[in-house]
Amino acid sequence: MAYEFIITEVHDRAGLIRLNRPQALNALNSSLMAELGNALLAFDADAQIGAVVITGSDRAFAAGADIKEMADASAVDMLRSDLIGPWDIVTTIKKPVMAAVSGFALGGGCELAMMCDMIVASETAVFGQPEINLGVIPGAGGTQRLVRAVGKALAMEIILNDRRLTAEEAYRFGLVNRVYPVDSYLEEALNLANSIGARAPIALQLAKESINKAFEMTLTEGLVIERRNFYFLFASEDQKEGMDAFVNKRQPQWKGK
Ligand code: DAK
């Protein structure tokens, strides 16, 4: 499909989505977000794809939601626009999603990265939630996901006082998985996506679902979900294949069935 604000590519089993509004540092306007949502759904439905990577440019992953687009909106405009719909797709697709972040990941850009399952950063990445400078607060999960990622004390500084995190700090505080030089972070993110994406598809889906439940329920409830998903996998051909391959000392061939 032809898109205006994103570019999609396939690298082995990894689907790559490049945010592509360079003149606006990939500011996330509603058209870009709609395209991103459609591309994510298309990769999620494509059996050849095992995992998805979202990236921007070396200069900017995304400098936030498009301030110019929302500057004059009323509260009712915002409420009616259902802005959050396409953003939700990032968190509801079944396959693992990775953000490959270089340069600015600010406001909605940081929130988009945090919606992904993992973040691979370049050494030049900068994470921040500067909405306070605009007289607003994060609106796409920043106040919730940042706290869970880096803890309350640091989240308060970042959101209340526009503290920005370097890639190295983001790694140290547990916001990102890995940091690489700017000329290799994307390739490394694709390698990671391909490594993950080559694994048993149904187990991947249920592992991701179970981990995400850890943020939404009590330990007892989460353990029930995990155990049910574990038992359910014994209904899959991939479980039989995986265990047979181990017993017979061969590589498994996953079918996603
Ligand atoms: N929106 C629109 N345009 C942007 C932009 C943004 N967020 N960020 C940068 N640009 C544009 C600039 O206006 C400029 O355009 P021209 O003037 O050339 O036409 C161009 O990109 C280059 O930017 P600069 O000239 O400013 O470049 P610098 O290197 O000097 O500065 C910067 C880079 C990233 C530090 C600076 O551009 C900046 O501070 N940008 C704004 C960062 C920010 O405040 N981000 C938070 C935005 S609020 C929600 C979903 C999402 C959100 C809320 C709700 N729901 C679903 C409910 C999210 C809200 C936000 O993200």
Cβ-based burial of 67 (10 A; exposed 0-12, middle 13-18, buried ≥19): middle
Average pLDDT over the chain reads 97
Residue 247 token pair: 């017993």
Q: How far is the CA of 141 from the centre of ligand 1 (A)?
A: 18
pLDDT digits (tens, 9 = 90+) for 194-225: 999 999 999 999 999 999 999 999 999 999 99
Which residues are marked as active site?
65, 108, 111, 131
Is 249 a pocket residue for ligand 1 (Cβ < 6 Å)?
A: no
pLDDT attached to residue 81: 86
Tell me which residue has its CA closest to atom 13 in ligand 1: 24
Q: How far is the CA of 130 from the centre of ligand 1 (A)?
A: 10
- Residues 202 and 31: their CA atoms lie apart, in Å, by 32
pLDDT digits (tens, 9 = 90+) for 121-161: 999 999 999 999 999 999 999 999 999 999 999 999 999 99
Q: Is the pLDDT of residue 167 over 80?
A: yes
Q: How far is the CA of 79 from the centre of ligand 1 (A)?
A: 21
Q: Is the pLDDT of residue 41 over 80?
A: yes
- Residues 115 and 208: their CA atoms lie apart, in Å, by 13
pLDDT digits (tens, 9 = 90+) for 68-126: 999 999 999 998 887 888 999 999 999 999 999 999 999 999 999 999 999 999 999 99
**Ligand 1, atom nearest to 78 Cα:** 57
Which element (helix H / strand E) includes 197?
helix 185-197
Is 79 a pocket residue for ligand 1 (Cβ < 6 Å)?
A: no
- Residues 210 and 222: their CA atoms lie apart, in Å, by 7
**Ligand 1, atom nearest to 133 Cα:** 44
Q: What percent of the chain has pLDDT over 90?
A: 96
pLDDT digits (tens, 9 = 90+) for 47-73: 999 999 999 999 999 999 999 999 999
C-alpha to C-alpha distances, 77 to 27, 74, 98, 145, 247, nearest whole angstrom: 19, 5, 31, 25, 60
Question: Do residues 12 and 195 lie in contact, with contact meaning Cβ atoms separated by under 8 Å?
Answer: no
Q: How far is the CA of 252 from the centre of ligand 1 (A)?
A: 47
Q: Which amino acid is at 198?
A: A
Q: Determine how β-strand 97-101 pairs with β-strand 118-122.
A: parallel
SS3 176: coil
Pocket test for ligand 1, best of 28, 31, 57, 67 (most atoms within 8 A of CB): 67
